[in-house]
Amino acid sequence: MEDAKRIRSGGPAVAVRGHDIDTDRIIPARFLRSVVFEGLGAAAFEDDRKQAAAAGTVHPFDDPRFRNARILLVNRNFGCGSSREHAPQAIMRRGRGIQAIVGESFAEIFAGNCLALGIPCVTADAAAVGELMARCEADPGLEMYVDLDTMRVTAGDASFPISMPEAARHQLLDGTWDTTGELLSARDDIARTAAALPYFSGWQPAS
């Protein structure tokens, strides 16, 4: 599972400011009819983007300066509201693909849905997030790095401590966040266990 390990993520960042941004804003409910996730990236924050355009402003996800972003910066309680897994799926598929999210705090279910996709949701204090956002907006090409080994986020000459639940961190570092991959890699063991279960063999003793 070496290729599933998520030790260090990096690239330019994009900041979406605001507290309590819920999953309906991340991906509006009308897109939940999709049974596949391909193409959802284009719909991320669609209503917010339309509202910004109508007000004569540009949403960060429409700003060409941030089209290459790999790191998403957010504020407090990001991903609250309904538990729709389409929200992290849309974020993951936006542009070049968001690889990690840094915020003040996250809704628990949203963070869990991100973990299931191998996307770290790490937290930093409000001052650190504010500094990262300011640096990102002043220099859209600035590379930021989220390191789950050292538990630091760096942006140029600035570096800040980050945190996340230890169990989730170990899953990302070990590559065991990919539960489907884990099952497939253990198919022989699963077959042996199933063969030994009496209700799979008509309650006959195993040969």
Tens digit of each residue's pLDDT (9 = 90 or more) over 172-200? 999 999 877 777 777 887 778 887 888 77
Architecture of domain 2-176: Alpha-Beta Barrel (3.20)
Q: What is the dihedral of CA 142, 145, 146, 150, to 10 degrees?
A: -140
State pLDDT tens for residues 13-72. Answer: 999 999 999 999 999 999 988 778 888 999 999 999 999 999 999 999 999 999 999 999
User: E strand or H helix at 143, and its extent?
Assistant: strand 143-147
State pLDDT tens for residues 96-117. Answer: 999 999 999 999 999 999 999 9
* pLDDT computed for residue 207 by the predictor: 56
- Residue showing tokens 């409910």: 29
Amino acid present at 129 = V
State pLDDT tens for residues 150-164. Answer: 999 999 999 999 999
**Whether 181 contacts 4, CB under 8 Å:** yes
* pLDDT computed for residue 4 by the predictor: 87
State pLDDT tens for residues 121-138. Answer: 999 999 999 999 999 999
* pLDDT computed for residue 168 by the predictor: 96
* pLDDT computed for residue 205 by the predictor: 62
Amino acid present at 114 = C
Alpha helices in 93-203 (DSSP H): 108-115, 126-138, 166-174, 179-185, 187-195
Alpha helices in 55-186 (DSSP H): 86-92, 108-115, 126-138, 166-174, 179-185
Residue predicted with more confidence, 106 or 201: 106
* pLDDT computed for residue 195 by the predictor: 79
Domain boundaries, the chain: 2-176, 177-207
* Closest among 104, 86, 99, 107 to 43, alpha carbons compared: 86
pTM: 0.88
Is the predicted pLDDT of residue 201 greater than 90, yes or no? no
- Residue showing tokens 């990690």: 100
Q: What is the dihedral of CA 88, 93, 94, 95, to 10 degrees?
A: 160
* pLDDT computed for residue 105 by the predictor: 98
